[in-house]
Amino acid sequence: MDIAPIRWEERNVTAIKGPGGRWMIPPDAKESMDRSKIGLKGPLKTPIAAGHPSMNLLLRKTFDLYANVRPCISIEGYKTPYTDVNLVTIRENTEGEYSGIEHVIVDGVVQSIKLITENASRRIAEYAFEYARNNQRSSVTAVHKANIMRMSDGLFLRKCREVAENYKDVKFTEMYLDTVCLNMVQDPTQFDVLVMPNLYGDILSDLCAGLIGGLGVTPSGNIGANGVAIFESVHGTAPDIAGMDLANPTALLLSAVMMLRHMGLHDYGNKIQTACFDTIRDKKVLTKDLGGNSKCSEFTADICRRVQDLD
């Protein structure tokens, strides 16, 4: 039997207060990530009044997770209004509209600052083209509103154009965000790799997840500096069904497949993905959210069986 050559090291990332009173992820979690470089993460509770910031934010800052990558591929057997979606959204995840810099100017007038830097724009653009090359994608489209936000989105666009010059084997196009949305819902097959600043990426990545069936089936990866990469399901913790063997593991599984590909273990990635898609297409053992009434363990067992048969 051919087992995927992965060993798991479990860690908890609930924030703790470090020396100096600053919130941080537990040292053993950080040490583990720094050593192994690759992580797989499930959903985290959003802390309300917990006193500490969102764990996702903390992870992002700790490992400089600058690129959020979501491949969106239509899942045969899981019906949506679209059949042939096959695109990837690459979102700059450190700056832009989410810098969190806001001020009250005078009573009743608030400003929120969007920051775009040359470095972050260049870095995400380079990642997008590298990704396209490494994954045999034919084109990269920069998504922007530089007609309105001439300086900020203009800078982002310029960096994309410069990087495109170094990747002549990948086709480069540019499109306004509103035009992308207009076209996306009419014909998503025209899109391949999309690269964009933070807010636009937030919107588009969720829009595209919706095209293939939602967050329950969408994989996601976060690329950081120093070779760190954390793959994660982007749905919620679903407390109402937790512990009842009702959950759908597809999103986390497909994120793990993404992880295998990132690590160069393409054969294992393909095998597991095929088994997963076949199980869904077969429709015999589907979890409730996919329209069936099987247990998580039954769904999982079916995929395991198929994987073993594929050996």
Rounded to the nearest 10°, the torsion over CA 254, 244, 38, 2 is -60
Using DSSP's 3-state secondary structure scheme, residue 140 falls into strand
Binding status of residue 119 toward a copy of itself by CB under 8 A = yes
**Which parts of 58-87 interact with a copy of itself (CB under 8 A)?**
80-82
Q: Tell me if 148 contacts a copy of itself by CB under 8 A.
A: yes
Cα 47 to Cα 230: distance, rounded to the nearest angstrom = 21
Which region, judged by CB under 8 A, interacts with a copy of itself, from 34-42, 205-213, 245-253, 277-285? Answer: 205-213
Binding residue (CB under 8 A) for a copy of itself from 112, 134, 166, 173: 112
CA 162 to chain centre: 25
Pairing relation of β-strands 139-144 and 193-196?
parallel
Is 215 a binding residue for a copy of itself by CB under 8 A? The answer is yes
Give Cα separations from 88 to 69, 70, 73 (angstroms). Answer: 7, 5, 8
Considering only 33-41, 97-105, 161-169, 288-296, which stretch makes contact with a copy of itself by CB under 8 A? Answer: 97-105
Q: How far apart are CA 164 and CA 193, in angstroms?
A: 13
Neighbours of 173 (CB within 10 A): 13
Among residues 13, 75, 211, 256, the one that binds a copy of itself under rule CB under 8 A: 211
Pairing of strands 23-24, 16-17: antiparallel
For 264, residues 6+ apart whose C-beta sits below 8 A from its C-beta are: none
Mask for 160-199, x = binds a copy of itself (CB under 8 A): -----------------xxx-xxxxxx------------x
Contact 170, 140 (CB under 8 A): yes
**Residues in a beta bridge with 41:** 232
Q: Which of 26, 77, 214, 292 binds a copy of itself (CB under 8 A)?
A: 214
206 binds a copy of itself (CB under 8 A): yes
Pick the piece of the chain touching a copy of itself (CB under 8 A) from 14-22, 144-152, 249-257, 280-288: 144-152
**Which CB sits closer to a copy of itself, 86 or 274?**
86
Q: Which listed range, 129-137, 152-160, 268-276, 301-309, lies at the site for a copy of itself (CB under 8 A)?
A: 152-160
Beta bridge partners of 24: 16
Q: How far is the CB of 98 from a copy of itself (least distance, A)?
A: 5
Q: Is 110 in the site for a copy of itself (CB under 8 A)?
A: yes
- Please, which residues bridge with residue 171 across strands? 139
CB of 276 to a copy of itself, least distance (A): 21
Name the residues that contact a copy of itself, by CB under 8 A: 80-82, 97-98, 100, 102-105, 107-119, 145, 148-155, 177-179, 181-186, 199, 202-207, 209-211, 213-215
